[in-house]
Every structure is written in C-alpha cells, then in structure tokens.
Chains A and B, each alone.
Chain A
Amino acid sequence: MQRPLPRRPGEGLTRGFPAVLSLVSAFAIWELYVRVSGISPLVLPAPSRVLDQMVLNRAILWHNTVPTVKATLAGFSLSLTVAFVFSVVLDFTPRVRRALLPIFVVSQTLPLVAIAPLVVLWFGFDLTPKILLVTLVTFFPMLVALLDGYAATDPEIEDLLRAMGASRRTVFRRARLPSAMPYFFAGLRISITYAVVAAIFAEYVGARAGLGIVILNAKNSFRPDLVLAAVVISSALTLVLFAITALLQRIFLRWRDLGDGR
C-alpha cells in the first residue's frame, strides 16, 4: 500500500544537469563575446574578471555581506511574526479584518523608491530602517498566504471538529492552521527572494555597510565588475535562503509528497 518517495540516489544530479548546462553555456557565451569583441571592462566585464574581483576583494565583500544577511534575516523574522499574529487576529475577528486589510493593501502600493529614503531619514543609518523595509515588502505576501490558507480549510473537517465539540480555537489549531501550511510555504519561498532585494535596496539608499553600499560605491567609481561581484553574492544569498525554505517545506509537508493511494 505504501508508496515509496520517488527518489533515487543521484537522481537530483541527473535532474539538475540541464540547468547547470544552460547556466555554464550562458557564461561561456558571455566570456567569449567580451574577448572577441574587445569591449571595455568599464562597460561589460567578463565573468572571469568578475570572479577575479571577488577573490581580490573578498575581505571587503565579506565585511559587507554580513550586515545584509543580518538585515534580511531580522526583517524577515519580524515580518513572519507580525504576519502570523495579524493573520490570527484577522481570522478570528472579521470586523478587524474588514478594517485593517485595506490598509495593508495600500501599504503594498507605496513605491519603495519613495518610501525607502523616508524610512532612512526617520530611522537613521542603522539596522532599524532596513529591518522595517524588508518587513514592509514581505509582510503582505505572507499575510495573504496565511489568510488564503485558513480559508482553504476543508469545511467538512471543520464540521467534523465542531461536531466533536471543538471550540473555535481548537478548530483553528487543529484544522485551519495545518491547512494553511502549504500556502504558508508557497508565500515563504516568494517572500524570501523579495527580502534580500529589499535589504540591498534599503542599504543602497543609505547605510554604513552592506552589499547595497558596495553596489552604490562601485557604480559611482565606474566599476561594473565590482557591481556584478556584489550581484553574484546577493544571488547566492537568495538561492541559499530559498533552498533552506524548500528544505523546511520538504520536512514539514512530508504528507503532501505521498502519492494518492486510491
């Protein structure tokens, strides 16, 4: 009866091969173009040059990656906490939901370009404005994911729990919350990618250190190779965080990976 999980050792490698191949070819074409055309590295540096710069400036890059990681993780943790608390409040009190949801929607219409300098102006060059901006960007998708997840609860399961004598709280804990988990993880994977971008943008607007600052300084001194070096690190950072959420999803949503036995 039990269906084994569809995994064989080495299968991941085989499946990942086309992605690696296309990525490597893209960089190869890029490298080739730069060498053949003789284009100035001030306009388009070759991937090899970007790599060289990363090794050369590793101390500076590392020094500036740490604050970005801090801002991302702190902001995202705050965002998750606030989104969860509000999702529970909104789920239990439809009246509050009607009052607050429009405000949250409006918060998503604010252009980050305009808001970020203001937040930096109000809260200074420390970690606080970065945390707030990351939260502003990622809070709403997480809240919507949770609310949609609660709403997707099988009504028959809720009826069953109520027939068992369960309170509204018990129904939430036993049915609505677990039902929302697939939605939560979908939202998590999207938001975590926004989080890094938001942190870097917040730094770009004003900070003492961070990948955003590296990008800003490199741009101002006409060093596209250093800009791209910072971009590589930010992409790698996003990918690592994305992989962690995917791993968490695998662990917590194990039941969804099982085949339908019927």
Chain B
Amino acid sequence: MSILEMKNVGVTLGNTAVLDDISMRVAEGEFISILGPSGAGKSTIFRLLTGALQHDRGAITCNGRPLAQNQQGFAFMPQRDALMPWRRILDNLTLGLEVQGMTRKDARDRVMLFLHDFGLIGFEQHYPAQLSGGMRQRAALLRTVVQARPVQLLDEPFGALDALTRTRMQKWFEERWRDARWTTVLVTHDVREAVALSDRIYVLSCRPACVIAEVAVPTARPRMDRAITAEAHALEAHLLDILLNQTGDQI
C-alpha cells in the first residue's frame, strides 16, 4: 500500500502555474527521487506536503486519508541545513521532538542513540558555526529522521557541499538508509545522486511541472562503494537525455 499518493495535483501561485499535473506514489520503505530542471517546482511539492502551501487541484493522501492541515506525516529537511545558530548541536537535534511535546530529557535520550551513526559524538555541545559543512548536513539529517515520521522529505540535502564531501555523504547516507529503510522522498537535480540512491525516480518537466517519466532503478545495493555499473550508467544517460531534450527547457 502507498504511504503517500498524489493524484493530478496542480498549484497556481498568483498568475503562475507552478505544478500542472503531478501524480506519484510512495510505498513504505521506498526511496523516491524527484528529478527536474531548476525552477521546475520540485520544492513546491514539499511545500504542499509540509502544509506551507495549499494545492488547487487534485488530491494528496497520506496513509489513505486526505492530507489535512497540521497532520504530521512528514519530516522535512530544507535545502540549507537551517540549523539554529544560537542552539548547540544537541539542542538543534532535539528541536523536532520538543516541538512534538517531548520533554527535553526524553528528546536528548532519543537523540543520543543516533549520535554515533551520524558521526556527531563529541560535538553535541558545539554550536553549528563550529562544524564543517558535512557535519552540519549530517546534523540536519539526524534532526529530520529522529522525529520518526512516516516519510522523510529531503530537499537537495547534499547540494551545498563540495564534490568530494558530497560523494562521501552519499555513500554514508546509503549505508544509513540500508540500515534504517526510512521511507524517503529526495528532491535533487543531480542525476548520478538520484540513480545511486533511489528505488524509483520521477522526472519533472519545466514549469508548469508535470511528471514526464517514471524510472525504476533495479541495480542491487550497495551501489556507492563499487565502480558504477553499465546498467546504472545507461540509466544515467537515459535520464540526462530526458532532462536535456524533453523537459521543454529552452536556453
């Protein structure tokens, strides 16, 4: 059964049609990527799901029920890490749990269980400004998954990192994901990242966005610690071809 389903969803902001016709579904434990040219409205989909925006057409259901306001189905990780500079790392990590109403102590106990896997041991009392970009990103990711929501929404989580750190983070993230199997929707414009991490990939057109391709990635995991397979390579080429020639993106 799908944990999240979008049917013919459309959004118009002012006079601009941002999403035209978006249909997608996410099953439990699945890793989905949304791939598209910049400005296609990928992040708009997340704004719909987190309740920052209302859709005009179509239906969104979470666990079979219509997405209601204040329904907490999703844990969201924004593009930049959005760590609060005035809170220590530990207090940043517990933020989501505290907002849910958990006591600070219980929230800390919960977060502590994850610190090792996220490479943040010894940095709990640091402020975000004292951490490297990769560590901040891991902290932001931990802040997201510790909330234990049914679906994780990751908005270009590795986009701001340098190439080397990004590859390391993707590899690390694949390991974490293989352990935990979080149901995940990843927004990205990085074809290689999408192919490396996803079970399925939705490709969006330019604005107003609709789904122009749905591609399954059959490659066995783990994928990041081996040389890239011919199969994955062909898939990347295929996706790049779609993005370059079929999104309606004119330069």
Contacts and interface: CB of A to CB of B under 8 A. Distances in A.
Interface of A: 1-3, 154, 156-157, 159-166, 170, 174-175, 178-179, 181, 253, 255-256, 258-262
A2 B82 contact: no
B33 interface: no
B70 interface: yes
Interface stretch (B1-9, B121-129, B202-210, B213-221): B121-129
Contact of A163 (B51, B123, B135): B51
A3 B99 CA distance: 31
A162 B86 CA distance: 19
A1 to B, nearest CB: 6
A163 B132 contact: no
Given A154-B82, A163-B76, A175-B84, A255 B95 contact: no
Interface in B15-51: 47, 50-51
A70 B15 CA distance: 59
A99 to B, nearest CB: 28
Given A156-B78, A163-B50, A163-B51, A174 B95 contact: yes
B100 interface: yes
B79 interface: yes
B85 A255 contact: yes
Nearest to B97: A164
A248 to B, nearest CB: 15
Contacts of A165: 70, 72, 99-100
Contacts of A262: 132-133
Nearest to A181: B86
Contacts of A259: 129-130
19 contacts: A156-B78, A157-B82, A159-B50, A160-B82, A162-B52, A163-B74, A163-B153, A164-B72, A164-B95, A164-B96, A170-B99, A174-B84, A178-B84, A181-B86, A255-B86, A255-B127, A258-B127, A258-B130, A259-B129
Contact of B52 (A2, A163, A256): A163
Contacts of B99: 161, 164-166, 170, 174
B147 interface: yes
A253 B74 CA distance: 33
A70 B209 CA distance: 65
Given A174-B99, A261-B129, A160 B123 contact: no
B84 A159 contact: no
B130 A1 contact: yes
Contacts of B130: 1-3, 258-259, 261
Nearest to B46: A163
B207 to A, nearest CB: 21
B132 A261 contact: yes
A154 B129 CA distance: 15
B108 to A, nearest CB: 16
B144 to A, nearest CB: 9
Contacts of B244: none
